[in-house]
């Protein structure tokens, strides 16, 4: 084989090699959380764990990178809402507790229509499931979770997100570390206004979920769900087969033919945007606002014009309106 052919063959296989290397890096496993997580039942006072310092930069400093869980988990997160339907499922291959979490309190429903997230409790974490079932009221809670490991058992639970802890969400945002360090809010530590795709958009809403993603080979990422208020009509397409329309004089067609068409339809859903950041101080500010049910204002770029879809954008600034 010539050198040119050998080089071409290697280049073709390079993406496959990189993909294999990525999946060979350990990401933690499904059973690691049982002994390390603090389980909070209905009478206990919860506290979120502080994110560690990364490369000498601690959470709260502008321009820092996203701090991730030191156990090496691929994704961890914080979700705020009220406990909904719960059920213990005894399946053939797995047993798990399945839990719904509803966003928005009764006082917020008119402005922020509720929707739900799904979480699971694995069989070996029976103490945490007992803590879940002991909670009988409808107060707003903070749910800590992680994602399943890529090669963990797919039958360990129904949801892709595993519950790891519960705490109360009654702290005031104005007593939080974020407000103490950034009373006027946090802004991205780079000149986003100078980029050609920036189209300024300001909105207000409630932070409902924050996810920290350990991407290992790339910059760590923080994904923030913000309920922007009200509902939005989302466009989607449904494929349909329709029979061919015969015209006069074409009655001798032996076999009817169908054509595939795509019909545009709309559905109304709560207007929840998904925003990303690679800056720890922005991510931490969103977490502190979430656990205190504090409305925030956000600045982002709606470059792709999301009138018929939910917003997906990078977060450039987040702040809380304070009365003078």
3 state DSSP class of 282:
helix
**Mean pLDDT, residues 20-30 taken together:** 40
Task: Check residue 41 and give its pLDDT.
Answer: 33
Nearest to 53 by CA among 39, 67, 40, 32: 67
322: pLDDT confidence band, cut at 50, 70 and 90? confident
Which of 37-41, 76-80, 137-141, 276-280 comes out lowest in average pLDDT?
37-41
Calculate what percentage of the chain has a pLDDT beyond 70.
75
Q: What percent of the chain has pLDDT over 90?
A: 44
Residues in Cβ contact with 13 at an 8 Å cutoff, skipping those fewer than 6 apart? none
Q: What is the pTM of this model?
A: 0.75
Given a contact cutoff of 8 angstroms between Cβ atoms, the answer to whether 179 and 284 are in contact is no
Q: What pLDDT does residue 104 have?
A: 84
Q: What is the C-alpha to C-alpha distance for residues 191 and 195, in angstroms, rounded to an integer? A: 8
CB 209 within 8 A of CB 77: yes
Q: How far is CA 136 from the centre of its chain?
A: 26
Q: Choose between 257 and 278: higher pLDDT.
A: 278
d(CA 94, CA 158): 9
The pLDDT score that the predictor gives to residue 8 is: 46
pLDDT digits (tens, 9 = 90+) for 110-154: 899 999 999 999 888 889 999 998 988 888 899 999 998 766 677
Q: Range with the lowest mean pLDDT among 31-35, 78-82, 89-93, 121-125?
A: 31-35
Phi, psi of 124 (to 5 degrees): -75, -10
pLDDT score, position 15: 53
Tell me if residue 19 falls in helix, strand or coil: helix
Look at residue 293 and tell me whether its pLDDT is greater than 70.
yes
The percent helix, strand, coil of the chain (3-state, each to 5) is 20, 40, 45
Outline where DSSP puts E strands in the chain. Answer: 75-90, 95-102, 116-122, 140-147, 161-168, 186-187, 200-213, 221-243, 258-277, 295-301, 312-319
| Chain mean pLDDT for the chain | 79
Strand 258-277 with 312-319, pairing: parallel
Among the residue ranges 101-115, 220-234, 251-265, 271-285, the one predicted with the least confidence is 251-265
Of 82-86, 135-139, 208-212, the range with the highest mean pLDDT is: 208-212
Mean pLDDT, residues 226-253 taken together: 78
Q: How far apart are CA 238 and CA 261, in angstroms?
A: 8
Report pLDDT for 42. Answer: 31
- Asked if 317 contacts 201 with a C-beta cutoff of 8 angstroms, the reply is no
Residue 107's pLDDT band (cuts 50, 70, 90): confident
pLDDT reported for residue 324: 53
Residue in the structure block whose two tokens are 């402005």:
111
Residue 58 has pLDDT above 70, yes or no: no
pLDDT the model gives residue 169: 80
Picking from 281, 286, 276, the residue whose alpha carbon sits closest to that of residue 314 is: 276
Averaged pLDDT, 156-173 = 87
d(CA 319, CA 185): 4
């Amino acid at each position: 084989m010539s050198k040119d052919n050998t080089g071409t063959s290697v280049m073709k296989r390079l993406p496959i090699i990189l993909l294999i290397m990525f999946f060979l890096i350990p990401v933690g496993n499904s059973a690691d959380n049982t002994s390390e997580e603090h389980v909070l039942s209905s009478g206990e006072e919860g506290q979120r764990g502080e994110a560690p310092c990364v490369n000498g930069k601690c959470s709260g400093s502008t321009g820092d990178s996203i701090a991730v869980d030191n156990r090496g988990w691929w994704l961890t997160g914080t979700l705020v809402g009220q406990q909904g339907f719960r059920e213990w499922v005894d399946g053939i291959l797995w047993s798990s507790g399945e839990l719904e979490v509803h966003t928005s309190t009764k006082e917020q429903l008119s402005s922020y229509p509720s929707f739900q997230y799904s979480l699971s409790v694995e069989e070996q974490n029976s103490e945490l499931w007992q803590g879940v079932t002991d909670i009988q009221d409808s107060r707003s809670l903070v749910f800590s979770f992680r994602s399943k490991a890529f090669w963990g058992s797919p039958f360990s639970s129904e949801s892709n997100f595993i519950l790891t802890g519960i705490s109360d969400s009654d702290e005031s945002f104005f007593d939080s570390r974020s407000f103490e360090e950034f009373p006027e809010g946090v802004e991205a530590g780079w000149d986003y206004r100078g980029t050609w795709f920036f189209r300024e958009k300001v909105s207000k809403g409630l932070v409902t979920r924050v996810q920290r993603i350990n991407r290992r080979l790339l910059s760590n990422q923080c994904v923030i769900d913000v309920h922007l208020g009200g509902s939005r009509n989302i466009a989607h397409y449904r494929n349909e087969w329709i029979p061919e329309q015969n015209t006069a004089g074409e009655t001798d067609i032996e076999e009817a033919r169908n054509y595939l068409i795509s019909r545009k339809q709309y559905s109304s859903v709560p207007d929840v945007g998904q925003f990303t950041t690679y800056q720890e101080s922005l991510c931490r500010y969103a977490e502190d606002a979430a656990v205190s049910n504090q409305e925030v204002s956000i600045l982002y770029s709606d470059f792709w014009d999301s009138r018929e879809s939910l917003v997906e954008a990078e977060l450039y600034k987040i702040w809380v309106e304070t009365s003078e």
